[in-house]
Amino acid sequence: MTVNDQNDFDGLMRIGRIVGLTIKTMAEALRPGMTTAELDAIGAAYMKSQGAQSAPQLVYKFPSATCISINEEVAHGIAGDRVIKPGDLVNIDVSAELGGYFADSGSTFPVPPVRPEYQKICDTAKIALKRSIDAARAGQRINAIGKAVELEARAAGLNIIRELSGHGVGKSIHEKPSIPNYFTKRADDRLTDGLVITLEPFITNGSGRVYTADDNWTIKTPDGDRTAQYEHTIIVRHGAPVLVTAV
């Protein structure tokens, strides 16, 4: 999607704020001993209170309102009876729709006490997201974003989940273009003013390989390695992009 007028801008910012506040509300409630279903219910209730719909449920019939992925789960974790424990890395990914506009965001929350090597994954992923935001400028090639993420991960001695990438968003939950988190010559299209995309580095201490679990949704690492993801929906500008999902 490209933002064409004030209505587009206002609609995106409205749903972006709801998505950001849903994650904030869930993060404030997150505690050891609760199940992911309990955490998901908090997010679902907040979205409903704002008149928004869960995008994964609306578009893909996803089994829960939000995606909650723990430890070896990289993405698309289904909320259920899994109990959150001290030391876990809990990723909360929320995408929602309101008035025909979609926004998408995610964050990984370490549950104290967390091993230093796992905290490093989170810290690196946060910095990688910042680097990707800095690289997202109208006129710049898409692969500059992946290059920035890849350089940050390599400098920390970590890897990227190459199968997962950012993407266009706005009028649907997943749109073109794809935004790889590594440098590839194929991603040489130029970013344009007003383009709405998500940036979401996935950083891991493992090989970077993943597989889809038997539930046909949850993406996991094959060897139990940890992953952190941080994500914002942005509007590309010639200068600093607009952070749609920041709160």
Instruction: Confirm if 55 and 47 have CB atoms less than 8 A apart.
Output: no
Residue 36, number of CB atoms within 10 A of its CB: 25
Beta bridge partners of 141: 190
Q: Which tokens sit at 137?
A: 């400028």
Give the Cα separation of 41 and 152 in Å (integer): 35
Summarised one tens digit per residue, pLDDT across range 69-112 is 999 999 999 999 999 999 999 999 999 999 999 999 999 999 99
Please report the sign of the dihedral spanned by the C-alpha atoms of residue 113, residue 114, residue 115, residue 116: negative
Contacts of 49 (CB under 8 A, 6+ apart): none
- Residues 146-204 have pLDDT tens digits of 999 999 999 999 999 999 999 999 999 999 999 999 999 999 999 999 999 999 999 99
232, containing H or E segment: strand 232-235
Q: How far apart are the first and last CA of the chain?
A: 22
As a whole number, mean pLDDT of residues 56-76 equals: 98
Separation CA 192–CA 173 (nearest Å): 19
Second-level CATH architecture of 6-243: Alpha-Beta Complex (3.90)
What residues does each domain of the chain span? 6-243
Residue 5: which residues within 8 A CB-CB, separation 6 or more?
none
Of 118, 114, 100, 213, whose CA–CA distance to 156 is shortest?
118
The pair of structure tokens assigned to 238 is 């010639």
Mean pLDDT of the chain: 98
**What pLDDT, on a 0 to 100 scale, did the predictor assign at position 142?**
98
